[in-house]
Chains A and B, each alone.
Chain A
Amino acid sequence: MSVLAVKDLWVTYRTQLSEIPAVRGVSFDIPKGQVLGLAGESGCGKSTIAGAILRLLPARTKIEGSIELEGEDVLGMKPGRLRAVRWTGASIVFQGAMHGLNPVKRIGDQIAEAIVVHQQAGEKQALVRVGALLEQVGLPTRRMRDYPHELSGGQKQRVMIAMALACSPSLVIADEPTTALDVMVQAQVLRLMKELQSELGLSMIFITHDLSVLVETSDRLAIMYAGKIVEEGPADMVFHSPQHPYTEALAAAFPEIGDDRFRRKPMGLGGDPPDPADLPSGCSFHPRCPKAFDDCSTVEPELYPAGERRRAACLLVPAAKERAGAHA
Chain B
Amino acid sequence: MSQAEATTARPPDASEPEVVVEVRDLRVTFQGRVGFFEGLRGKKGTLSRAVDGVSFELRRGEVMALAGESGCGKTTMARAIMGLQPVDGGEILYEGKPLPRDLKPYRREVQMVFQDPTGTLNPRQTIYEIIAEGLRIHDIDRGPNGEPEEQLVARALSRAGLRPPERFFLRYPHEVSGGQRQRVVIAGALVLEPEVIVADEPVSNLDASVRGEILQLLMKLRDDLDLTIIIVTHDLGLAWTVADRVAIMYLGRIVEIGPAEDVLLRPEHPYSKALLDVVPEPGGLERPILTGEPPDPTRIPPGCRFHPRCPVVASGRAAELGIEDRCRTEDLALQDVAPEHSSACYEAFARHGSDATTG
Contact = CB atoms under 8 A, between A and B. Distances in A.
Tell whether A pairs with B: yes
A219 interface: no
Interface stretch (A26-34, A65-73, A206-214): A206-214
A186 B261 CA distance: 25
Interface in B38-60: none
Contacts of B280: 186-187, 190, 210, 212-213, 215-216, 254
Contacts of B153: none
Q: Interface on chain B toward A: helix, strand, loop, or mixed SS?
A: helix
Nearest to A191: B285
Interface string B312-354: 0000000000000000000000000000000000000000000
Interface string B262-298: 0011000000001111111111110001110110000
Contacts of B151: none
A272 B69 contact: no
Contacts of A264: 2, 5, 219, 241-242
Given A210-B280, A213-B280, A269 B209 contact: yes
Given A263-B241, A272-B178, A272-B179, A209 B69 contact: no
Given A185-B293, A272-B177, A257 B285 contact: no
B213 interface: yes
B211 A257 contact: no
Contacts of A259: 240
A266 interface: yes
Q: Most chain-A CB neighbours within 10 Å: which of B5, B238, B264, B282?
A: B282
Interface in A8-26: none
A41 B281 contact: no
A257 B209 contact: no
Contacts of A268: 209-216
A139 to B, nearest CB: 12
A194 interface: yes
B178 A266 contact: no
Given A182-B294, A184-B69, A42 B207 contact: yes
B4 interface: no
A273 B208 CA distance: 10
Contacts of B214: 268
B2 A263 contact: yes
B213 A257 contact: no
B82 interface: no
Nearest to A268: B212
A210 B235 CA distance: 12
A154 B71 CA distance: 14
B180 interface: yes
B302 interface: no
Contacts of A186: 278, 280
Interface in B214-269: 214-216, 219, 234-238, 240-242, 261, 264-265
A291 interface: no
A183 interface: yes
A184 B289 contact: yes
B70 interface: yes
Contact of B274 (A184, A191, A258, A266): A184
Given A264-B2, A266-B215, A266-B242, A41 B209 contact: yes
Contacts of B290: 184
A239 interface: yes
A187 B241 contact: no
Nearest to A252: B212
Which 5 A-B pairs give the minimum distances between C-beta atoms? A268-B212, A266-B215, A187-B278, A268-B213, A253-B208
Interface of B: 2, 5, 69-70, 177-180, 207-216, 219, 234-238, 240-242, 261, 264-265, 274-285, 289-291, 293-294
6 contacts: A183-B69, A187-B284, A187-B285, A258-B240, A266-B212, A273-B209
Given A183-B235, A267-B212, 5 more contacts: A184-B294, A212-B279, A217-B285, A253-B212, A264-B242
